[in-house]
Copies of this chain bind each other. A is one copy, B any other.
């Protein structure tokens, strides 16, 4: 796709094409957008890329993204230390924070168990989770891995691992998405919604 362009344009198209979700056509489109945009905007983008690599680390406690050694949530003394929400990725932390429902702490596993991709329990931050729990401060572990095969397998693995410990282990509810349409729900989701039905009268 980059054939026919001069050297630096071809280089840019090739580099952009390596990004996830950016195919050859989009890479070309973005490259021409860059060519026509203000040099200041382009250097802001280039800087943002370099800054992120230079400054962002992963929190030494929870594994979330952090600009120092610890993330903003781990450094916040107002967060409830007794509740620990286990998620797969830093973006899951952001999604849960957006709900404003949860005021506890997080633990980011860095993925989910996935034998096809060769990701086993030792590749996730499970050892770090166990040592956080060893202090005895946490009373509830909320397993908030994705509701798909890998996330369910990871939650099942963790819940077995935690049976011996004196903590409540919970899992996020499965059911119909709010604002969704019952008719279009897949049968597994609808089945889970039945299983987890809630009584409304006394």
> What residues make up the interface of A, taking CB atoms closer than 8 Å to B?
3-9, 11-12, 14-16, 18-22, 26, 28-35, 39, 41-53, 55-56, 65-67, 71-72, 89-91, 93-94, 97-98
CA distance A98 to B52 in the complex (A): 38
Q: Is the CB of A8 within 8 A of B46?
A: no
Shortest beta-carbon distance, A77 to chain B, in Å? 18
Q: Is the CB of B91 within 8 A of A48?
A: no
CA distance A122 to B51 in the complex (A): 42
Copies in the complex: 2
Name the residue on B nearest A93 (C-beta): B4
Shortest beta-carbon distance, A63 to chain B, in Å? 12
Q: Is the CB of A28 within 8 A of B91?
A: yes
Q: Is the CB of B9 within 8 A of A20?
A: no
Q: Which residues of B contact A34 (CB under 8 A)?
A: 49, 52-53
Q: Which of B3, B8, B19, B65 contacts A5, CB < 8 Å?
A: B65
Q: Is the CB of A72 within 8 A of B42?
A: no
**5 sample A-B contacts, Cβ–Cβ < 8 Å, listed by A number:** A6-B72, A14-B48, A20-B30, A35-B65, A42-B50
Q: Is the CB of A53 within 8 A of B42?
A: yes
Q: Is the CB of B45 within 8 A of A8?
A: no
CA distance A52 to B8 in the complex (A): 6
Q: Is the CB of B98 within 8 A of A32?
A: no
Q: Is the CB of A48 within 8 A of B98?
A: no
Q: Which of B4, B11, B29, B45 contacts A94, CB < 8 Å?
A: B4
Shortest beta-carbon distance, A117 to chain B, in Å? 14
Would A53 and B48 be within 8 Å (CB), given that A6-B72, A91-B32 are in contact? no
Q: Which residues of B contact A16 (CB under 8 A)?
A: 45, 48
Name the residue on B nearest A25 (C-beta): B21
Q: Is the CB of A12 within 8 A of B98?
A: no
Q: Which of B3, B48, B71 contacts A15, CB < 8 Å?
A: B48
Q: Is the CB of B94 within 8 A of A15?
A: no
CA distance A50 to B31 in the complex (A): 11
